[in-house]
Amino acid sequence: MPHYYSQGQVPHKRHTQFRKPDGGLYSEQLFSTEGFSNDYSLLYHIHPPTVIIGNDTPVDVRPKVAEERMLKHRCFEGFNLKPVQDYLQSRVPVLVNNDCHISLAAPMQSMTDSFFKNADADEIIFIHEGTGILHTQYGQLSFAYGDYLVIPRGCIYQIHFDTPDNRLFIVESFSPVVPPKRYLSKYGQLLEHSPYCERDIRTPQLVQPIDASGDFLIHTKKKGMMYGIHYGHHPFDVVGWDGCCYPFALSIHDFEPITGRVHQPPPVHQTFDAHNFVICSFVPRLYDYHPQAIPAPYNHSNIDSDEVLYYVDGDFMSRKNVTRGMITLHPAGIPHGPHPGAVEKSIGKKDTQELAVMVDTFHPLQLTEAALALENDGYVMSWAE
């Protein structure tokens, strides 16, 4: 996020001597996701964060693509994904392209014996079910139902769950995740017409640094391979940090909907922006208040974008037979709209309680083998009912 934040101990000037009580130097680390030309943070470690003591044989974790090209509406029952004990093994890509990977996960256990770093992609983890704490070098972030956890690439983390049954919707972005430009001032502040503001953004809370030596395994994902890299010091030995690049949480329940006299187009729901795709939040809101308004969305052609909708909770007046955790994919090139009868049924309705996350990509998505195993084959014909 664009605003500056500081926690713990930092020296008066960057890149200057910053000494421990015993006279030794703290180790400064610059953290940025785009070299030296974008937002960054400076972290101060008790030990150098570079001490590698071992490497494991890398494992291929590339998604197995089943369909590269398609022009067909698809539907996937996300909650049919079977729970898995291990967090990393639970992450299952279902829709992928060169800009993002969309995954589902149903982890049952916390990460306790190792850490994770995605060296390729920013991660947006939407918490559908479960509570817990995200542990990072920057501190701790508690999370609960409806939270987006936005984790910049290269950030080392552990995720701890309070609950055995957890459901996550994960988007990996191979470009930085930022707020929509139209909601930012030229200095980076979220403007008055933005559907959320800085007060809604939760930053990590720095805790006591862990000064420990030993063997600390960081699973590092890079170009479809998972590398097991062993470090000689605990990665959470940070005594202070400051800057503008760090993980944060934003609750979908704090997203304020933009409404109007007639039906508003999907961009009013946009929450995050990235290269060649956007993420939107559909939240409970009042319907349109023109006396002749039709609350149901109008039919529209996806000429240049694939539309993915992840259904979280509530009622969806434009769709039949919606289940929690369902994913619909409406690919670019063919129109889609409300199911038969939904338009008339929506007239006169005053509000909706729907909750959903949408991902619109401007390059086609590919289906993985895991997605096909979750598919509801009858969806494509559901407009003929």
Instruction: Write out pLDDT tens, residues 287-312.
Output: 888 989 888 888 888 788 999 999 99
Place of tokens 């809604």: 200
User: What CA–CA distance (Å, rounded) separates 151 from 31?
Assistant: 13
User: What CA–CA distance (Å, rounded) separates 323 from 312?
Assistant: 8
Query: Under 8 Å CB-to-CB from 58, ≥6 apart: which residues?
Result: 225, 226, 227, 228
35 three-state secondary structure: coil
In this prediction, residue 318 carries a pLDDT of 65
* Fold equal for 50-61+82-234+246-252 and 254-384: yes
Per-position b or e across 25-49, b if 16+ CB within 10 A of its CB: ebbbbebbbeeeeebbbbbbbbbeb
Which residue type sits at 58? Answer: P
Report which of 106, 162, 104, 168 is spatially closest to residue 131, judged by C-alpha positions.
162
Which residue type sits at 127? Answer: I
2's tokens: 């664009």
User: What CA–CA distance (Å, rounded) separates 227 from 219?
Assistant: 6
Least reliable range by pLDDT among 198-202, 204-208, 323-327, 380-384: 380-384
User: What CA–CA distance (Å, rounded) separates 31 from 89?
Assistant: 27
For residue 275, the 8-state DSSP code is T
Distance separating the N- and C-terminal Cα atoms of the chain: 46
Q: Which CATH number fits domain 50-61+82-234+246-252: 1.20.210.10, 2.60.120.10, 3.40.50.150, 1.10.287.70?
A: 2.60.120.10
pLDDT interval class at 153 (50, 70, 90) = very high
Report which of 343, 337, 358, 350 is spatially closest to residue 282, judged by C-alpha positions.
358
Per residue in 6-21, pLDDT tens? 999 999 999 999 999 9
User: What CA–CA distance (Å, rounded) separates 329 from 306?
Assistant: 7
Strand (E) or helix (H) holding 31: strand 27-32
Report which of 162, 169, 123, 177 is spatially closest to residue 146, judged by C-alpha positions.
169
Residue 180's Cα: distance from chain center in Å? 15
Per residue in 329-355, pLDDT tens? 999 988 888 888 888 888 888 888 899
Q: Report the percent of the chain where pLDDT is more than 70.
A: 98
In this prediction, residue 351 carries a pLDDT of 86
Per residue in 166-187, pLDDT tens? 999 999 999 999 999 999 999 8
Report which of 137, 164, 163, 135 is spatially closest to residue 149, judged by C-alpha positions.
135
The angle at the Cα of 101, spanning 98 to 104, to the nearest 5 degrees, equals 165
pLDDT at 385 over 70: no
73 has binding-site annotation:
no
User: What CA–CA distance (Å, rounded) separates 97 from 100?
Assistant: 6
Q: Domain limits of the chain?
A: 50-61+82-234+246-252, 254-384
336 has binding-site annotation:
yes
Query: Is residue 41 within 8 Å of 243, Cβ to Cβ?
Result: yes
The catalytic site residues sit at 263
CATH number of 254-384: 2.60.120.10
In this prediction, residue 263 carries a pLDDT of 87
Per residue in 320-331, pLDDT tens? 778 999 999 999
198 three-state secondary structure: helix
pLDDT interval class at 255 (50, 70, 90) = very high
348's torsion region: left (phi>0), alpha (psi -120 to 50) or beta?
left
Mean per-residue pLDDT of the chain: 94
* Three state DSSP letters for 57-120: CCEECCCCEEECCCCCCEEEEHHHCCCECCHHHHCEEEEECCCEEEEEECECCCCCCCEEEECC
> In sequence order, what are the beta bridge partners of 352?
285
